[in-house]
Amino acid sequence: MIIAVWIPLLMPLLAVPAARRLAEALPPRAAAWLLTGCAALLAGCNTAALGLLVAAGALRLPPVAALGHLSLPLLGDDPAVSVPAAAVAGALLTACAVAVVRRTGRHHAELRRARRSTAAHPVSGDLCVLPDPAPDAYALPGRPGRVVVTAGMLRALPAAEREALLAHERAHLAGRHHLFLLTAALAAACHPLLRALRAPLAYALERWADEVAAARVGDRTVTARAIGRAALAARPDAPAPPRPAAVLGATAGPVPRRVAALLTPERAAEHAPAHRGFRGRRLVAAALLACVGFSAASALDAAADLHQTVEVAQGEAAAH
């Protein structure tokens, strides 16, 4: 077990670059699901591996072995290695659990504060308009979800572009995109290498909402202009009302790249991947699938090996 259990801890070194590269070649929605799924699976395998290391080391301790009626000589693994490894794994597992709890709590606290701050302003359907003159707009998840936009942002856009901007924010709410980001954040708390998936995931979610907005208003050019104009209005050096870090807004991410994608004809964007670099993408997809599959298989193999070792040790102890 001691060899197989390390594989899930190291596999993100290969899987994360492969996932980022493959996501660039996929449609936004598929890319978002790919990145989120990979983050969750790799984090799960990593957590399972740490748990197995802790269990393997704990079983070497005489009080635990006596409680489980185990024969220590048959447990295998050198206790000089497994017990310190279990201590380190236990510390890491505790740190992961604390980070996950804190990140989840901060997420919900930010959303509660944001909903309280918007509750005092008039709401029309799912739209909440803040009287702030600084341009800003974002999707605030909850029950019900709200599209929060400032008076400054509404004044900065003509009517058609306002419709595209609101459609973009509604797409974030309908797709529950904040849960994708939360999943990636929790996965990153379990393995630091998974933090590299956050930026491409945020971009994929923005592009997903861009495409939904373009389909809703029926004009990709108007949507591109809305995204570009909103980003210029809400420039980083301009004062803006506070908003939660967990929410998604139309001006996030690499806006020029998003605008360029929207200005690409939809039909060309759909069919371009079919004839450019298809073989390379298949190789990357195969490599990513192998990485994730090997990580999961290694964790399962380590768990089965530990279970078999415990059964043998219990049987020998019972025989004596």
Give me the DSSP letters along 64-81.
Answer: HHHHTT--GGGG-S-HHH
CB atoms within 10 A of CB 99: 15
State the pTM of this model.
0.85
147 touches 128 (CB < 8 A) = yes
Range with the poorest average pLDDT among 83-87, 146-150, 156-160, 271-275: 271-275
The owner of tokens 């605030």 is 140
How confident is the model over 35-46, as pLDDT tens digits?
Answer: 999 999 999 999
Residue 272 pLDDT: 47
CB atoms within 10 A of CB 317: 16
Distance CA 140, CA 148 (A): 7
Strand ranges for 92-183 from DSSP E: 123-124, 127-130, 137-140, 146-150
Using CA of residue 198, residue 204, residue 207, residue 212, what is the dihedral sign? negative
Instruction: Give the β-pairing of 137-140 and 123-124.
Output: unpaired
Distance CA 168, CA 304 (A): 47
**Predicted confidence band at 274 (pLDDT cuts at 50, 70, 90)?**
very low
Give me the DSSP letters along 106-132.
Answer: HHHHHHHHHHHHHHTS-EETTEEEE--
Residue partners of 197: CB distance under 8 A and separation at least 6: 16, 19, 20, 35, 38, 39, 184, 187, 188
129 φ/ψ angles, rounded to the nearest 5 degrees: -105, 120
**Predicted confidence band at 190 (pLDDT cuts at 50, 70, 90)?**
very high
Q: Does the bond joining 144 to the residue before it have cis omega, within 30 degrees of 0?
A: yes
- Helix orientation angle between 28-58 and 177-190, rounded to the nearest 10 degrees: 30
Residue 231 pLDDT: 87
**Predicted confidence band at 108 (pLDDT cuts at 50, 70, 90)?**
confident
Residue 258 CA neighbour count, 13 Å, CB half = 30
How confident is the model over 192-247, as pLDDT tens digits?
Answer: 999 999 999 999 999 999 999 999 999 999 999 999 998 888 765 555 556 666 67
Residue 201 pLDDT: 95
Nearest Cα neighbor of 27 from 311, 272, 231 is: 272
